[in-house]
Structure formats: structure tokens, C-alpha cells
């Protein structure tokens, strides 16, 4: 049995041996399309076989209809090749900007969506594999990226209907009702604190808000975030620590400016808020195993 057919038959047992020359041609053309990438032919052929729904004599026609160069790039991305990930972004992430522009999204939305797609495309989460490993080749990669971008825009629009999601998640983490005094302060000044926090979050650059959401809302660890940005996890941890420190400081500053209380009352509120903010932030960072 020919080598490539043997690999293909591991996924499609009834594939005819006559497809061997076609498989060789597909591998050669795909390598020529991306000469800087290296994917083992057997691994690529198995990747292709899992996307062929035909059987028997129809396999060759089904193979010929696949966007094999795109699948080669997807296979390299799924294997974790950073060059392949950069190549996919270079070739197709302009679609994100086009979608954001056509759908009249605010400035910075395209950058936010790109970061979200990097996570979905290239980072596995729990039992969910990286999305690029599920690319089926029913269309080309450019269209797949475009559809993914549209879906993310729709999610963002839906999220805007629940504008307090991130703010509430951060607020609940920053000021947990750990005791009666904290609960009373949180209840009494929640509106002012929420407003101060919302304004402080809005003042952060898009990139920093995305980082916070990854950790607080999406529950990603430092290692996963570092993978998304292609930096060491220690660098990602420093980024988040600085962002959180800046957010705490700006929130306290804005809260102090908003409250119309006596000096002692302002100091009392800020003392409770500061202690809870600092403790919860340190706990959140220290509790992430990836930072150790």
C-alpha cells in the first residue's frame, strides 16, 4: 500500500489506492503555496481525510474540491506553528477590519475582535479544541475568518445590551461583601463605585480591557493569555498586575471626586474599598497557578 494512501486510509478505510498520485500532488501544491511551513505529509493527509465525507470512488472528486492550501495552513496552525498563525493573520485578518467598518462598529472594535479570534482560533479551552483544528474546508479560510468576525460583532452588540457585564464582574471581584462593614459600604455606595469603575474601565485602552476580560470574565489563565499575545507568562502577569493597579488607582480617584461626604467619611469609604480592592487583586493573581 502506498504511503500517503495508507495514512489517508487510517481515517477513510475504504478509500481507493488510486488516489495516491492525487495525494502526492496535493501535498506538493500545498507545500509550494507555503514553502516556509513544514507539515508532515502523513499528518496533513490524515487532516484532509477527516474532511472528506465521500466514500469509495467519490473520494477523489471530494478531495479535488477541497481548498487544500488553506487546509495545509490550518493544519500547521492546529499543530501550534507560530509562523502559520502569523501567516493566517497576515493573509486574512483584514477581513475583521472590513466587517467592523461595514457594521459601523466603534473605533478599536476590530483590534478587540482580532484578539478574541486569536483566542478562539489558536487556543484550546478545556474540552474545546482550538477552532482552527475544526476548520472543515467547506469554504476558503478568508470566508471562514469573515464569518467568525461577523459572529463576534454580533456577540459584542449583544454584550452592549448588557453593558454592566464586565463592570459587574470586576466590581464583584474588587469589592466582595466579606463582612458587615464591607457589605454596607458596597450597598450604600455601589452606584457611585460602579460609575467610577465604569469610567475607569472606559479610560483603559482597548487592549487592556481585552486582557482584563480574558482573565476576569473568560477565566483564562496567565499561560493562555501569554500564548494569545506570544509572550512569556511572566510578561502577561506583569501586564495584568499593572492594569489592575492602574484600574484600582483610577477607580479610587474617581470615587473620591464623586462622593460629597465629609473628609472622615471619604477616608472611611476609600479605606474599605482600598483594602478590598488590593486584597482581591493580589488573591486573583496569586491564585493563578500559571503565575508560579
Say whether pLDDT at 185 is over 70: no
- 124 within domain boundaries: yes
The one-character DSSP state at 178 is -
247 and 266 assigned to the same domain: yes
Task: With beta carbons less than 8 A apart as the criterion, state whether 232 and 185 touch.
Answer: no
Q: pLDDT for 26-45, tens place per residue?
A: 999 999 999 999 999 999 99
- The answer to whether the beta carbons of residues 222 and 243 sit under 8 Å apart is no
Residue 288's pLDDT is 38
Residues 210 and 253 in one domain: yes
Residue 170 and residue 146 share a domain = no
pLDDT of residue 160: 61
147 and 185 fall within a common domain = no
Which of 66, 100, 119 is at the close of a domain?
Answer: 66
Residue 214 pLDDT level (bands cut at 50, 70, 90): confident
- Residue 131: give the domain boundaries: 85-160
pLDDT at residue 180 in the model? 55
Do 172 and 260 belong to one domain?
Answer: yes
Residue 73 domain flag: no
Asked whether residue 267 is assigned to any structural domain, the reply reads: yes
- Residue 132 to residue 104: CA distance in whole angstroms: 27
What's the pLDDT tens digit per position in 165-174? 555 555 555 5
Q: Answer yes or no: do 234 and 286 share one domain.
A: yes
Confidence bin at 179 (pLDDT 50/70/90): low
Q: Which three cell numbers stand for residue 73?
A: 495552513
Beta bridge partners of 128: 125
Q: Does residue 127 fall inside a structural domain?
A: yes
Q: Which of 160, 191, 211 is the last residue of a domain?
A: 160
pTM over 0.75? The answer is no
Same domain, 210 and 251: yes
Confidence of residue 183 (pLDDT cuts 50, 70, 90): low
| Residue 80 included in any domain | no
Q: Which residue has the cell 482552527?
A: 132
How many separate domains does the chain show?
3
DSSP state letters, 60-115: HHHHHHS-HHHHHHHHHHHTT-HHHHHHHHHHHTHHHHHHHHHTTPPTTHHHHHHH
C-alpha 18/C-alpha 16 separation (Å) is: 5
pLDDT in tens, 83-113: 999 999 999 999 999 998 888 888 888 998 9
Are residues 197 and 274 located together in one domain of the fold? yes
The residue among 163, 136, 146 whose CA lies nearest residue 48 is: 136
pLDDT at 76 over 90: yes
User: Does 107 lie in the same domain as 53?
Assistant: no
Same domain for 172 and 216, yes or no, is: yes
Regarding whether 208 and 192 lie in a shared domain, the answer is yes
Least confident of 75-79, 157-161, 239-243: 157-161
Residue 274 has a pLDDT of 52
Question: What does the H/E/C string look like for 133-167?
Answer: HHCCCCCCHHHHHHHHHHHHHHHHHHHHCCCHHHH
Q: What is the mean pLDDT of the chain?
A: 79
pLDDT confidence band for 279 (50 / 70 / 90): very low
Domain ends where: 140, 160, 180? 160
pLDDT of residue 285: 34
| pLDDT (0 to 100) of residue 270 | 56
**Does 74 reside within a domain?**
no
Give the confidence band of 20 by pLDDT, cuts at 50, 70, 90.
Answer: very high
Q: Is 128 helix (H, G, I), strand (E, B) or coil?
A: strand
57 occurs within a structural domain? yes
For 137-162, what is the mean pLDDT? 83
95 part of a folded domain: yes
Q: What confidence tier does 262 reach under pLDDT thresholds 50, 70, 90?
A: low
Considering the domain architecture, whether residues 59 and 109 belong to the same structural domain is answered as no
Amino acid at each position: 500500500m502506498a504511503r500517503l494512501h495508507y495514512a489517508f486510509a487510517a481515517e477513510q478505510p475504504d478509500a481507493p489506492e488510486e488516489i495516491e498520485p492525487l495525494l502526492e500532488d496535493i501535498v506538493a501544491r500545498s507545500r509550494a503555496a507555503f514553502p516556509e511551513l513544514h507539515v508532515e505529509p502523513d499528518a496533513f493527509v490524515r487532516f484532509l481525510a477527516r474532511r472528506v465525507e465521500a466514500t469509495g470512488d467519490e473520494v477523489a472528486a471530494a478531495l479535488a474540491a477541497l481548498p487544500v492550501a488553506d487546509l495545509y495552513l490550518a493544519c500547521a496552525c492546529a499543530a501550534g506553528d507560530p509562523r502559520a498563525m502569523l501567516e493566517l493573520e497576515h493573509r486574512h485578518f483584514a477581513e475583521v477590519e472590513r466587517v467592523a467598518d461595514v457594521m459601523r462598529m466603534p473605533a478599536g472594535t476590530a483590534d478587540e475582535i482580532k484578539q478574541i479570534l486569536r483566542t478562539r482560533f489558536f487556543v484550546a479551552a478545556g474540552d474545546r479544541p482550538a477552532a482552527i483544528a475544526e476548520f472543515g474546508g467547506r469554504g476558503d479560510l478568508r470566508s471562514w475568518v469573515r464569518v467568525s468576525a461577523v459572529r463576534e460583532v454580533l456577540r459584542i452588540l449583544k454584550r452592549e445590551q448588557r453593558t454592566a457585564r464586565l463592570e459587574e464582574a470586576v466590581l464583584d471581584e474588587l469589592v466582595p461583601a466579606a463582612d458587615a462593614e464591607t457589605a454596607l459600604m458596597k450597598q450604600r455606595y455601589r452606584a457611585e463605585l460602579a460609575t467610577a469603575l465604569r469610567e475607569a474601565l472606559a479610560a483603559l485602552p482597548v487592549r487592556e480591557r481585552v486582557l482584563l476580560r480574558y482573565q476576569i470574565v473568560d477565566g483564562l489563565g496567565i499561560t493562555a493569555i501569554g500564548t494569545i499575545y506570544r509572550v512569556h507568562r511572566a510578561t502577561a502577569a506583569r501586564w495584568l498586575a499593572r492594569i489592575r493597579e492602574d484600574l484600582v488607582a483610577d477607580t479610587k480617584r474617581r470615587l473620591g471626586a464623586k462622593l460629597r461626604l465629609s473628609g472622615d467619611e471619604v477616608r472611611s469609604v476609600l479605606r474599605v474599598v482600598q483594602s478590598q480592592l488590593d486584597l482581591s487583586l493580589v488573591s486573583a493573581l496569586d491564585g493563578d497557578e500559571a503565575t508560579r
